[in-house]
Copies of this chain bind each other. A is one copy, B any other.
């Protein structure tokens, strides 16, 4: 807390023997300043340790170079990755994010939007899990006086700017991998079906089954809420079915880890007795027992792309809404075993883009 007294543009102008505007031009990197004048001003700036007051700049220019970032949950790994990617891009472009936490409560979002609007952010990024609250969210967008970008949700029919992962394709990829390994009885632990991502992943699951001519068994689909605990409980529910399934597709890794725990407790071996595939590729997935085969989505890139899009929208006022969908990657580890029966002849080799990981490297 040293006394760096407030050097203003005025004092720099005085010190450099120029007018305030010339200093303004220099700090804004305008063309129309004579090289020597620029240098003289720059020297004065350095000498005095002048730092332009961003608040005053914001008031005069009506651009705060500040963005809002309202997330659903800071503690979820996927969200923190989005934040990481978004912050990085913002930083590169000279923006800051102001943070809001809606704590998974969609009602909080309009409040944050209002608050952020009062603070004259140039745009807002919502990192969320969207679902049945579509209408509410559209109202939100309608009330926004600034550009808004959303992650974790997309509807191609709506003119909103979105960066999301193709959940349906990712889920298809997961289930197709199980199918390629001969599994025909595949259970599913879903995320909360109020979440669009879970809806889409479930759709991908069904689609993959249907493409292979396998009928859908609703008893093998149990709803969780993305927590490890819910995966554990979902697994217990699955135990109460006919238990004929040979593999499980979990809508995220945390639930898969919970399921793994229940599986172990029940004395079942993974993947010998039962295979499981997760989704997200959280860091712990690699060190689950056994290491979890999963679907990776680059959430950092989602955040980065969302911030890039938002800044684009901010800096190009006329720009139209864009929807960006990123792909997923199959990560091969040890929680899936082949399961060949007479009814499931060995299919052609996988054509999926996939990577294998080992614990011993790096």
Contacts and interface: CB of A to CB of B under 8 A. Distances in A.
B283 A254 contact: yes
A261 B80 contact: no
B119 A101 contact: no
B55 A64 contact: yes
Interface string A115-149: 11111100000000000000000000111111110
Interface stretch (A83-91, A181-189, A202-210): A83-91
Interface string A73-103: 0110100110110011001000011111100
A226 B183 CA distance: 37
A96 B98 contact: yes
Interface stretch (A17-25, A165-173, A285-293, A323-331): A285-293
Nearest to A228: B287
Contacts of A117: 4, 51
Nearest to A303: B74
A53 interface: yes
- Category for how many chain A residues contact B: 35 or more
A58 B99 CA distance: 18
A59 interface: yes
A232 B77 CA distance: 21
B100 A91 contact: yes
A52 interface: yes
B142 A2 contact: yes
Interface string A1-23: 11110000000000000000000
A264 interface: yes
Contacts of A74: 80-81, 83-84, 87
Most chain B beta-carbon neighbours within 10 Å: one of A84, A88, A260: A84
A28 to B, nearest CB: 14
Most chain B beta-carbon neighbours within 10 Å: one of A3, A99, A286: A99
Contacts of A77: 75
Nearest to A112: B91
Nearest to A86: B99
Contacts of A148: 1
Contact of A146 (B1, B75, B80, B254): B1
B51 A118 contact: yes
A66 interface: yes
A56 B60 CA distance: 9
A35 interface: no
A218 interface: no
B286 A228 contact: yes
A53 to B, nearest CB: 6
Given A53-B59, A261-B287, 5 more contacts: A1-B141, A4-B145, A53-B118, A54-B118, A66-B98
5 contacts: A54-B118, A66-B119, A96-B98, A98-B98, A258-B287
The 7 A-B pairs at the shortest CB distance, nearest first, are namely A54-B119, A96-B98, A228-B287, A261-B287, A289-B289, A74-B80, A4-B145
